[in-house]
Amino acid sequence: MNRVYNFSAGPSMLPLEVLQRAAAEMLDCNGTGQSVMEMSHRSKAFEPIIANTEALLRELMGIPAHYKVLFLQGGASLQFSMVPLNLKKTGKAAFFDTGVWAGKAIKEAKKWMTVDIVASSKDKNYTYIPKVAKVEGDYDYVHVTSNNTIFGTKMNAFPDTGTIPLVCDASSNILSEAMDVSKFGIIYAGAQKNLAPAGVTVVIIREDLIRGPNNAAAGDLPADVPTMLRYDTHADEGSMFNTPPCYSIYVMGLVLEYVKKMGGVPAMATLNNQKAKILYDFLDSSSFFKATTAKEDRSLMNIPFVTTIDNKEQAEAVNKKFVSKAAKAGLVNLAGHRLVGGMRASIYNAMPVEGVKALVAFMKKFEEENK
């Protein structure tokens, strides 16, 4: 078996032992004589799978009892619409504009809400996180993106929003370090970076924000909100209103078991800091490569870097050469996003330290050969 180190921003690599277990259970999961892919989502065979996945996520993230955990579809992108549709009351929302995905969330929210941009780093191509200690106003919610996959920044502190629900897109750094769930009204995350294969989206929502017939205290939603876009639809049915992404939920459970065995989120945070330090230390000492983001806001998950070559055409040629040669060396998906250029190494939870060390060794050799 010739495994590569996959630095893709998503879908990302999964822990090897998780893949091996999934492969071993492909034809017969838990002695049922069937694959999870074949199971009815309402069967006794699948029931313990989804229950175990939720229980592990609650344990690892310290999710309070008064929060619902939903397993939905549509990626984080669908949440850009579901959040304003479900939380709209006064019709105003506050957003932190810190990158492409925050921008997409803003664009969707504007279809139903008046949006105030309370902070933005657009002036410097999103290379830093604007610092805002407190947000006040008659807002239905405040929206932040905790980690910016394309630009390689992360929020190290979240604003105090008082009684205003704080909503967080945590798609690219969930489970990478501790999050105090109680500070948020909603946390949502596409799974394909730290949790599972693409297909399932986790939504952690405080119960008082779920509006519908069974949550009368929070008020009913307008009748024109589509059934599938209502949080109460899924909360009332335990994520079983329709067929959920069963196999992705199953693999998520395996990933969460792996994280627990490794020592939980604190152990992941230690490992992620170690990996990021190895790569950032090299970038900061190199005369050929450099990181693109402000040091105080650097992501642990996504690390963009460029060469120090001033000539644009020459730099682009070297970038292509780097990505091509790296792939031949078993270091794949290192091309940078067009908005940043250069290269990008995504080093999510499943990336081992050895992968980062192999990348740095390759970069040192490449630098020597191309100065």
Task: State the catalytic residues.
Answer: 101, 169, 193
As beta bridge partners, residue 35 has none
Q: Scanning the structure block, which residue is given the tokens 């050895």?
A: 354
> Do 341 and 308 contact (CB within 8 A), yes or no?
no
> Which distant-in-sequence residues (6+ apart) come within 8 Å of 207 by Cβ?
66, 67, 68, 215, 235
* Selection from 86, 62, 79 nearest residue 266 by Cα: 62
Q: How far apart are CA 307 and CA 318, in angstroms?
A: 8
Task: Tell me, rounded to whole angstroms, the distance of Cα 51 from its chain centroid.
Answer: 22
> Do 115 and 106 contact (CB within 8 A), yes or no?
yes
Structure tokens at 341: 């250029």
> Which distant-in-sequence residues (6+ apart) come within 8 Å of 319 by Cβ?
306, 307, 335, 336, 341, 342, 343
Helix (H) or strand (E) holding 168: strand 166-169
Residue 51 φ/ψ, nearest 5 degrees: -65, -40
* Selection from 304, 297, 335, 333 nearest residue 319 by Cα: 335
> Do 231 and 70 contact (CB within 8 A), yes or no?
yes
Residue 119 φ/ψ, nearest 5 degrees: -160, 145
> Which distant-in-sequence residues (6+ apart) come within 8 Å of 193 by Cβ?
9, 10, 11, 12, 149, 171, 172, 173, 174, 301, 346, 348
* Selection from 199, 164, 140, 177 nearest residue 348 by Cα: 177
> Do 145 and 137 contact (CB within 8 A), yes or no?
no
